[in-house]
A and B are shown apart, each in its own frame.
Chain A
Amino acid sequence: MKPRVIVLRAAGSNCDVETKYAFDCAGADAELVHINRLKEKSVRLSDYQILAIPGGFTYGDDISAGKVLANELRYGLADQLTEFHANDKLILGICNGFQVLVKAGLLPAVDFTKAQSVTLTFNDSGKFEDRWVHLRVAADKCVFARNMPASVYFPVAHAEGKFVVHDAGVLERLKRNQQIVFQYDNPFGRVEYPMNPNGSVDHIAGICDPQGRILGLMPHPERHIDPTQHPQWTRLGAAETGDGLPLFRNAVRYFTD
């Protein structure tokens, strides 16, 4: 059975189609669903195995990135989400989806009552930037990152991607629990701007929950599925697949293996 993926749309989601495509390529059965369908209960979250919140600018990112959608989840769908996670299912948030996960109370751990402890704020460069970044992968904890190579190449495209923590203790716990999955990297030297494209603390690009079943990341794995998406494929030759595909395959295998 192919695992069913709900790619959650809201006003301003815009990476939904390619996120669905990535899951379909990885062997899932992905569907685009508007959040209104969940609110009116014509679609039930419990019918799916994987929830993906795609990139975009939900509600224009007005107020702050992902905030309004995050509140819709936190104050409207908390019970369904708690149950979804408790039933050993997977949640993925990419870019705007990552911003939503941390503001909704799904990362660094599922807790809708506690105040937010991490956030994604304005890039140090002060502007939206689209560029490719090398990422160091810590594959141990997170379901999505299992057996991935130690280094992958994905694009980032955001204005609010700087990962910061409320206090030093938060960062300490993330490290101790091995929740830091992706870090910006420079295979050739020191990691500074633009290799770390936004000024994130500890070069953090993506984190998971303590169980490793919720992943949020700023870079876009769904934009590196086909080898011709690599910015240098005309130099290096086309690889067999893009670096992003294994991430989606891992999610599918969690239910098929």
Chain B
Amino acid sequence: MTTGLSSAPRTLRVALMGNPNTGKTTLFNRLTGSRQKIGNYPGVTVEKKFGSWEYGGRTVVLVDLPGTYSLAAASPDERVALDFLTGNLAGEQPPDAVICVVDASNIVRNLFLASQVADLGLPLVIALNMADAADKAGIIIDTALLSRRLGVPVVRTVATKGDGIEALEKAVNHVVDDRSLMACVPWPESVDRAMARLAEGVDEAGVQRLSPGELRRVLFDPRSAVLERAGWPADADPALLLAPARGILAADGIQPASAEALLRYEHLGHLTADAIRFPEKRRRTWTERVDAVLTHRVWGMAVFILMMFLVFQSIYSWAGPFMEAIETGVAWVQELVAPWLEPWPALQSLAVDGVVGGVGGVVIFLPQILILFFFIALLEDTGYMARGAFLMDRIFGWCGLNGKSFVPMLSSYACAIPGILATRTIEDPRARLTTILVAPLMSCSARLPVYTLLIGAFIEPAYGAAAAGLTLFAMHFVGLAVAVPVAWGMNKFILRTHPQPFLLEIPPYRRPRLRDILWRMWERAREFLVRAGTVIVAITVIIWALVYFPRPDSVGARVESELAASGAGVEDISRRIDAAYIEQSYLARAGRAVQPLFEPAGFDWKITVGVLASFPAREVIIATLGTIYGVGTDADEESDDLRSALARDVWTGGRRAGEPVFTVPVALAIMVFFALCLQCGATVAVMAKESNWGWAVFAFCYMTFLAWAGAVLTYQLGTRWLAL
């Protein structure tokens, strides 16, 4: 044994697998502690998580594979799992061993996946997790006997309490040395013949060869992605290859479609029969009693709406004080830095407005992200999330979303960033992508200042407080009303992947652990800071440069001499200088250039510049308009100065010379534009990280177009037909 150890590799690679709802993530955290890294597998949006531990003089690197019920490779998660295990993932070697997490209350169904792994010839350890719940349910498991029957170590674990972790580490070390393989299914001889026939066909086609494990997957799963990977010439039809092989099975009286499941379950039933004893009489569980209320057609819906209201309130209001504190902190740092860089105005502006402002623009999202993920972790760990999806699926299912889209969509009403991060809870990749693409249409809290300013300045004076309230309410529905047909259209015409059936396990209710919840909050926050934060800071700096440059001294000098002659105050002069610089900045030049495009929406060049300047962050419009109208950058949406400056502004040329720029239709058109436009660099960055840059750019383009069309439509309807 000792000689075996010395010749064995010092670093082991181990995969962690298991069905969903088996406590796999908690077990991963217990095994690896804080030594974790998160990334994505190349080309797919499946999350790659790995960590490590030391045992018996070895470093063990544990890779957390997505939770799946099977290795059929019909979904991206399953495909990544299978490709990882067979060493077909770019840059990855097959693992030295696999830990399969099994729910101790439902051993046979969970072992189905383990037996598929065993067929690939990989050493295996079974972690019998949530063993305490099985005890409580009266299920008696003879672990030693089970281990003998299966031929691999079976370790009782309770991940939430940290029980069995060391035994699991020891067992991993042991199976690598011993190469313990789980008892394989005694396949009928016709299965071997069918696989041989398939292998011949693959050889004849001259494509990449498949391992026996992969051949078996192809034989049993007509939807398996394994065949696609082999690299077929464009005119070849892999299905033709399958027909004769599957014909061999049929001739032997084996139905290919259900053969694998039937044979595996039969085999596992035999192996486990005398090792597991279930209680004689089924008791009505606590879960069933709770569910009688929580999925009730009246009470269940009421509780769900109440819970979601609580979640929404928490991110919408509770995060407020923390966000204000961050804003104050950022302003404090800016004031601290500014005097140091006084001699170099460009550098000062870059540091203060570009870098510190950009970092502040990232950190500002943390309170909402942390609070939302506290609730999401709570909803998921208790098992309530599955009930919510069950209640809501009908509402979302028909347009290509699913019941799990609800939490991300609702969260996006506070802020699309935590909302998009929350789509991680959606397993179906297509529903997840659709949710990501429509989430930014929900009216987030950053749009509120724009609505408040324009409604306060134009709707309320003209039509009264009731109309103002109604307009504000309606603005929150514009995005949702557009999102539903957009989601439907995207599924119908753009996303061509196979839809995944919506099969959702309803797990028993479980007591959440604060430690795991806090860990999840920290994990998401850290990931946001590292992955999206860097992009957000970069975008902020670029936009800063477009507003700041060019900066010829002559502009400032001209304004100063003009105003000094008229006896204006120092503060007034400095505001006018800012306005003069922004008027000739690269961004303003762009604004003037594209203004004709916004002419049919009633926007003048100032509004257009404001709109362009708001693409990195929509709330910037207020400060930008404040600068352009010379009322200072500290103008806010309640500012009377800004409101009256807007109301006073008139067209200086063209056919509308002398008419006011801001009318009710213009105000409405601006609001519709802001409601539908993706004016948030941070959201674009997060979308890119959660899907890819292609989809992020697509979302940006379709929303910009919708916003433009919506604004034009609003203005034209308002001026021509409603005569507002």
Q: Do A and B bind each other?
A: no
Interface residues of B (CB under 8 A from A): none
What is A's interface to B at a CB cutoff of 8 Å? none
